[in-house]
Structure 1
Amino acid sequence: MRQTAEAKTLTLSGRLDTATAAALWPKLMAEAAGGPAVLDLAGLSALDTTGATLLLVAEAAGKGNRIEGAAPPVVAVLDRVRAARAAPRPKPEARLPVVARIGEATWQAGRAVRDAVAFLGELTLTLLGTLLRPWRLRFRETLRHLDEAGTRAFPLTVLLGVLMGVILAFQSAIPLRRFGAEVFVPNLVGISLLRELGPLLAGVILAGRTGSAYAAELGTMSVNEEVAALRIMGIDPMALLVLPRVLAGLLVMPVLSLLLTLAGLMGMAFIMGLFGFPLTTVQQQLVSTLHLSDLLGGLLKAAVFGLAIAGIGCHAGLGAGRGPRAVGDAATGAVVGGIVAIVVLDGIFAVAYERLGI
């Protein structure tokens, strides 16, 4: 620092980067606020935005402060930071009143329902048109989706089924043992897996593996505008992209549900063997409890679950927005929507079966 009669001169040299500015900030501000000061930047070799901010704040800290001797690169940085500091800051959006927020949420929900109904109607028309003109269906693509959604999910389905059978057998045997009724564990586990847990858990597997995959694939195509290109070329994306995936979900879900149920019964039989019950006893209990209507009812539920999961996944993918988060949001929406849909449908089936006496 050099003091003259008119002002004091604060000389800066070398690099003024973030680390240097942090150490220099208190001292420079104290000197700059004390009176007219000249910030001599002739020896300054490098400057970043943090250093430029320090110099501009110091210039404005005292009356008569000014910057001199800066090289053209330093002046350029100072001008950019000065312009950024002078630019008007965007005002925060005004918060809507409660009634307006409720109305906006209702409007958005109505639009979502409208889009879902439109997608369902378009899919139905495509399916009916394919029945009249079967050559429109891409059989090779359908087989590929059957393999990805079904065959490759078999190991996970078997593992989950065995574990569920073991857990249900153990948890059911604990209260039944008080009454000496462990022999009825196969009845409880068998009816639970066949009618409820088999289709429901298979639906969770399909939603997590396949529903998210459908949404990610179609979402990527939507973001890259490939779906729009298909429409421009006169190709129906519903017949080309959606229908094979929906048919694969519809056909594969009953198989996954049955496989998970059989694996669960095997796990239950293993636990019953540990309890001292032979396999014939387990078989007799299952035969006396389970009926064909239980099997058909579970498979029907599984087929409807598969149709809903595949449709929701495709709808989420085709409705993906723009930006880096669009595909991730579509996949998340497909999984959440698929799981919520199968739970709601399971409740509807439970009421319907009870009313029909099934």
Structure 2
Amino acid sequence: MPPEGQDIAARAAAREDGNAGMERRADGTLALSGRLDADGAAALWPRVMRGVEAGAQDGAPPAIDLAGITMLDTAGAVLVLDLAGPETRIEGAGEAERAVLDRTRDALAEAPPPVPPKPMPWLAWLGAMVFAAGRSIRDGTAFIGQCLVTALGLLRRPRNLRAADLLRQLDEVGLRAFPLTLLLGVLIGVILAFQSAIPLRRYGGEMFVPQLVGIVLLRELGPLIAAIIVAGRTGSAFAAELGTMTVNEEVDALRIMGIDSMAMLVLPRLIATLVAMPILALLVNLSGLVGMAVVMTGQNFPLISITNTLMQWLTLRDLLGGLFKAAVFGLAIAGIGCRAGLSAGRGPRAVGDAATAAVVGGIIATVVLDGLFAVLFSRLGI
């Protein structure tokens, strides 16, 4: 059978089984046939693109013949309009097909595809990063100033701080974190005792394990573990709660009603965390020492010897220094969580992004502050 007869037979088969087909005639006209719905356009699209690439030097076809199509929807209309150039004639289309083409053409003209942003040069990218960092520092400084002004205002009007909110936040931050704090403290004490006893046993220095674990817990690990617990539990909860209120415009409603949102929403959380953090750090210290004592008594060390060693080497200065660091860590974590919630956006991911920013920011702030305290205590001889 000659090629012309094969093309005619293919088009006839396409009409009968409904499959989409395409033929390029000798004069350059593209003849489409079959069902140009979503499935047909998807099946025909790779072949059309290969034909366009092969005939790119000829430009757009002079005409597109739609006489052979049996069905046309918006997916097929997009395919036809993508093939057609500004001077391409569309022939053989019925009234219904032309209506679909006109609606699709208007929709594409009203909503063009977004243009991908051009990559910024490295200097512009560096400037944008510096500008964003400066804006974040400015906003953080403004938030700290608002907190200080509101806290000083409570000295004149203490009734602005509601006791019920403060007690609720103390329950959330402190009491409900006790089980997790005790569990982690015991595990940390057990791990430190085991890992310290293994290398010290080679030199007969197992007797120094209690003082080593005690000093590490009281000065460093106790406040750090408590800070990580509060950042994961409380900082994210503050950001999620205040972020939800911001998204629902409840914070704006409080301001419209003349209620100080800082005094009502932020200060109770800051004060509760400031009070609860030293208590949580103390629980980590005590439970960690209990875990260490369990390990050491299991290695035939008498409990009275462990107690005497701790009383001999641990001082009140070690304990108070760790508790002071814990209070500062808690204040920073609560402030970062509240600021992340109040500055949340309006999109569906705003609350999740605020909670993530609160946890990450709280942990980073804790590590940075701990490094600053290490340098400060070393200089002061504490």
CA distance in 1, matches of 2:117, 2:27: 48
- TM-superposed deviation, 1:101: 3.3
2:175 is aligned to: 151
1:202 is aligned to: 226
CA distance in 2, matches of 1:303, 1:317: 21
1:337 is aligned to: 361
Matched, 1:258 2:282: yes
CA distance in 2, matches of 1:64, 1:38: 10
CA distance in 1, matches of 2:64, 2:373: 82
| Structure 2 SS opposite 1:179 | coil
| Structure 1 SS opposite 2:202 | helix
2:319 is aligned to: 295
Read off the aligned partner of 2:41 and give its amino acid letter.
A
Read off the aligned partner of 1:112 and give its amino acid letter.
S
- TM-superposed deviation, 1:92: 4.1
CA distance in 2, matches of 1:98, 1:26: 38
Cα contact 1:53–1:81 (8 A) shared by 2? yes
CA separation of 1:9 and 1:97: change in aligned 2, threshold 3 A:
closer
Read off the aligned partner of 1:66 and give its amino acid letter.
I
* Structure 1 residue corresponding to 2:186, chosen from 162, 173, 176: 162
Matched, 1:47 2:73: yes
* Structure 2 residue corresponding to 1:126, chosen from 145, 150, 174: 150
CA separation of 1:357 and 1:30: change in aligned 2, threshold 3 A:
closer
CA distance in 2, matches of 1:246, 1:6: 79
CA separation of 1:76 and 1:225: change in aligned 2, threshold 3 A:
farther
2:40 is aligned to: 20
2:6 is aligned to: none
In structure 2, the gaps of 5 or more residues are 1-10, 13-22, 56-60
Read off the aligned partner of 2:204 and give its amino acid letter.
G
Cα contact 2:63–2:91 (8 A) shared by 1? no
Of the structure 1 ranges 292-301 and 345-354, higher mean CA displacement relative to structure 2 is found in 345-354
Read off the aligned partner of 1:17 and give its amino acid letter.
D
CA distance in 2, matches of 1:191, 1:289: 8
In structure 1, the gaps of 5 or more residues are none
CA distance in 2, matches of 1:218, 1:35: 62
CA distance in 1, matches of 2:158, 2:211: 44
* Structure 2 residue corresponding to 1:185, chosen from 196, 204, 209: 209
CA separation of 1:218 and 1:75: change in aligned 2, threshold 3 A:
farther
CA distance in 2, matches of 1:43, 1:88: 28
Read off the aligned partner of 1:178 and give its amino acid letter.
R
Cα contact 1:7–1:37 (8 A) shared by 2? no
Matched, 1:111 2:135: yes
Summarize the alignment of residues 1-12 of structure 1 with structure 2, pairs less than 5 Å apart. 1=11, 12=33
Matched, 1:221 2:245: yes
CA distance in 2, matches of 1:108, 1:316: 15
Cα contact 1:8–1:37 (8 A) shared by 2? yes
CA separation of 1:252 and 1:42: change in aligned 2, threshold 3 A:
same
CA separation of 1:166 and 1:36: change in aligned 2, threshold 3 A:
same
Read off the aligned partner of 2:164 and give its amino acid letter.
R
* Structure 2 residue corresponding to 1:305, chosen from 305, 326, 329: 329
Cα contact 2:226–2:277 (8 A) shared by 1? yes
CA distance in 2, matches of 1:199, 1:57: 64
1:275 is aligned to: 299
CA separation of 1:39 and 1:30: change in aligned 2, threshold 3 A:
farther
| Structure 2 SS opposite 1:39 | strand
Read off the aligned partner of 1:39 and give its amino acid letter.
L
Q: TM-score, normalised by structure 2?
A: 0.82
CA distance in 2, matches of 1:30, 1:309: 59
Cα contact 2:36–2:69 (8 A) shared by 1? no
Cα contact 1:312–1:337 (8 A) shared by 2? yes
CA distance in 1, matches of 2:151, 2:277: 19
1:318 is aligned to: 342
CA separation of 1:151 and 1:65: change in aligned 2, threshold 3 A:
same
* Structure 1 residue corresponding to 2:272, chosen from 248, 253, 261: 248
- TM-superposed deviation, 1:132: 2.5
1:78 is aligned to: 101
Of the structure 1 ranges 302-311 and 278-287, higher mean CA displacement relative to structure 2 is found in 278-287
Summarize the alignment of residues 85-100 of structure 1 with structure 2, pairs less than 5 Å apart. 90-100=114-124
- TM-superposed deviation, 1:188: 0.6
Read off the aligned partner of 1:334 and give its amino acid letter.
A
Cα contact 2:74–2:104 (8 A) shared by 1? no
CA distance in 2, matches of 1:313, 1:31: 58
1:38 is aligned to: 65
RMSD of Structure 2 on Structure 1 (CA): 3.0
How many residues were matched structurally?
353
Q: TM-score, normalised by structure 1?
A: 0.87
